[in-house]
Structure 1
């Protein structure tokens, strides 16, 4: 029998520079320390990352008809790292574009928050593998300030490499090989090829591998069940099946079913299944407050669950998306980016992001306004409500301790990966 694993591999926010210039989200609360212990610094950034993620998702949904998949932690941390090396006004615009109120949370606190988050996510766990990394590839002609290199290493764990970017084909292979090794061979050919006048590449990657707390049994998987892509199109996909205890609810106001599935490690997935024809309504309702409400109202019960086995991916040039959510100035302002004078006096021209996810039987979020919920019935050994994910649905993957959103996507076609 194959190992009981979920595979999720993400490559986040490869940023290329051109010489041409609320409270926490809706999740189970992390364990609290003693009253005398200060709150972890990552709590200053994770709610903002969630809000930023929902804005990015809505923009992608407006422009992308099919599957969507990206890593909010990956994109947000890479942009925050980038702000360290920008001029003061550009740095402010990047952090405000991410959604931070710099009057309430000073820049130094934001960077310490990301430092705390990355450290917490990188802590070893016997039940799941989670690896976050940043790497900066600079052309050999660039001489970045040592202070900047020290800051990105201390705060973001980022390593800087000097490469010959004028030989773009060789450099492209070197960077792809680097990411492939860091993700244990799961992310290959992550970068699009770039031109010889690219003086800098900033990469972020996330690798995540975890087991379901309650794995599906492969013998119960139906090899050919219908998945309705839309009213006119259906396809046949493998459909996993189990009767198991999960937390879920039906949100009558937003017309969707919300299901939380736990991993055996300190992570969980939130699956949101809109009623037929209600995807846009549910997407429009995605707000941090909605997630909080759902988490408070989820009820544990035995559920007759049907979930497709799927592999999806997403690849985006975010410079086309970010200006619509307040991050336009990082593309049109000349700045002494990354403290590296000379060829880097230009503007960012590409922000690329790639993610891939594979959910199977062994491995790998919630519902509604008060008073308008149809909650599941109590535990009953002879009856269990159905949740059949046989039409497009949303998926969110969380790390529970930090309450950080690792992954956000839409499964519009489970066979398109």
Structure 2
């Protein structure tokens, strides 16, 4: 049995702050945001082949987390799926197929090479400079100085994922852990701190993925109308007084009688939007059960603009999810046992992933939203009652989906149970 050696880490951040006009090319008739239509008959971008799968993966992961978590949930599907897809490039034998099929890819319809080209296209498009949207996606690999990584692996992850390798001294795990946390903090402009916890002395590698996103509400809330505290029902027994933002603005929304929830779309300037889902009292589990890609599409076709009297709490939450118990339930089983072959990274066998951590935080205020997420895999030897009226009051737990629209990618997904849990 060799030493522990891998912690895969994904990081994401969302922030929105000022008023800008909404792009004219946005297709507002679809719940899943649509990319601008092309005047020419050019082939569809490669990322179109993977973003529906990422969304489906996100909803499967959310349901598993919701079944095991009573409090806030918040994570970045793009971060987690990118980290796992990159990991598959270092796998051998059947392990790449097991990872990609676990993410939900049909490798007959979308061959492995097309999946990686899709992620390459997604990362490239999300990183495209925009005056209205700060967005940065990247990956970095920290290797212990005693390891000799396979050059082919390093070349491939650089080409497809823009990932660069750094040498580190994991013998001093405390110092190296601090250095990696500092790196994450700088890459995410201070939004994600202490994402790497409990780095053991036999860890020899950390693979880091981060997403930074900073946008602005199309219609910022007026801070002077948002000073008063209002009641927020965490559950049937618990209510809190929380700062509640208020505005009367045009928003697209609907009431779904069958699912028993109100659905509200809030636009950012630039190519981003938030979808907020407010279940009727006592109907959260019913709404969660209905979370399917086809439900999102249906809502997108039914959302209609209306002047809305909106009350929305300021949100400041964070959560850490250990995913090694969750991922096997949604198809990612074999990467956690000794059958997994990850020797394509360093040429060494008998390494397994025993820890998958994901840390996420979101801050939603009058001018916009800031969020961050971090996910990691640690590899060790196996031995170790709403109506459609124009009044929408988010005074009980609700769901948040944050989209980047050009790529139709779900950057963040979560549930706000206690908006001030910190």
Q: TM-score, with normalisation over the residues of structure 2?
A: 0.88
Q: 1:219 aligns with which of 224, 241, 244?
A: 224
3-state SS in 1 of match to 2:211: strand
Q: Please provide the CA RMSD for this pair.
A: 1.7
Say yes or no: does 1:115 pair with 2:110. Answer: no
1:319 alignment partner, SS class: coil
- Aligned to 2:269, the other structure's residue is in SS state coil
| 8 Å Cα contact 2:142/2:207 also seen in 1 | yes
Give the secondary-structure state (helix, strand or coil) at the position aligned to 2:201: coil
The one-character-per-residue Cα deviations of 1:199-240 (angstroms, maximum 9, x if unpaired) are 211111111211100000011114210001111110000000
CA distance in 2, matches of 1:315, 1:13: 15
- CA distance in 2 between partners of 1:97 and 1:283 (Å): 21
Partner of 2:419: 414
Distance across 2 between alignment mates of 1:357 and 1:50: 19
Deviation of the 1:34 alpha carbon = 3.0
Q: Establish whether residue 40 from structure 1 lines up as the match of residue 35 from structure 2.
A: no
CA distance in 1, matches of 2:30, 2:149: 37
Structure 1 residue 193, shift from structure 2 partner? 2.1
1:72 to 69, 77, 89: 77
Q: Is the contact between residue 181 and residue 195 of structure 2 (CA under 8 Å) also seen in structure 1?
A: yes
1:369 — aligned with what? none
The correspondence for 1:335, drawn from 329, 341, 353, is 341
- Work out which of the residue numbers 6, 9, 12 in structure 2 matches 1:14: 9
Alpha-carbon deviations, 1:365-412, whole Å to 9, x = none? xxxxxxxxx995xxxxxxx71000000000000000000000000000
- 2:204 matches 1:199: yes
Runs of 4+ residues over 4 Å off in structure 1: none
SS in 1 for 2:174: helix
Q: Which range moved further: 184-193 or 209-218? A: 184-193
Q: What is the distance in 2 between the residues matched to 1:127 and 1:196?
A: 43
Deviations 1:232-285 (A, max 9, x none): 110000000000000000000000000000001110000000000000000000
Q: Which deviations, in whole Å up to 9, do the C-alpha atoms of 1:292-317 show, x marking residues without a partner?
A: 00001100010000000011112112
Unaligned runs of 5+ in 2: 1-6, 11-28, 370-385
C-alpha separation in 1, matches of 2:110 and 2:149: 28
- Matching residue of 2:293: 288
How big is the shift at 1:25?
7.8
Q: 1:137 aligns with which of 136, 142, 145?
A: 142
CA 1:225–1:52 in structure 2 vs 1: closer, same or farther (change >3 Å)? same
3-state SS of paired residue (1:97): helix
Structure 1 unpaired stretches of 5+? 1-11, 16-23, 365-373, 377-383
Question: What TM-score comes out, normalization by structure 1 length?
Answer: 0.89
Cα distance between partner residues in 2 of 1:216 and 1:97: 41
Q: How far 1:13 sits from its partner (Å)?
A: 5.5
Counterpart selection for 1:246 from 244, 251, 255: 251
Q: C-alpha distance in 2, partners of 1:161/1:103?
A: 35
Which has the larger displacement, 50-59 or 136-145?
136-145
Q: Which residue of 1 aligns with 2:404?
A: 399
Match in the other structure for 1:21: none
- Cα separation, 2, equivalents of 1:334 and 1:270: 38
Contact 2:323 2:356 in 1 (8 A): yes
Q: Distance in 1 between matches of 2:307 and 2:299?
A: 18
**1:9-408 to 2 correspondence within 5 Å?**
14=9, 26-332=31-337, 333-342=339-348, 345-364=350-369, 376=388, 385-408=390-413
Q: How far does residue 35 in structure 1 lie from its aligned partner after superposition?
A: 4.4
* Partner secondary structure for residue 166 of structure 1: coil
The Cα of 1:189 is off from its aligned counterpart by 1.1
> Displacement of 1:339 after TM fit?
2.7
Q: CA deviation at 1:323?
A: 0.5
Contact 1:25–1:47 (Cα < 8 Å) also in 2: no
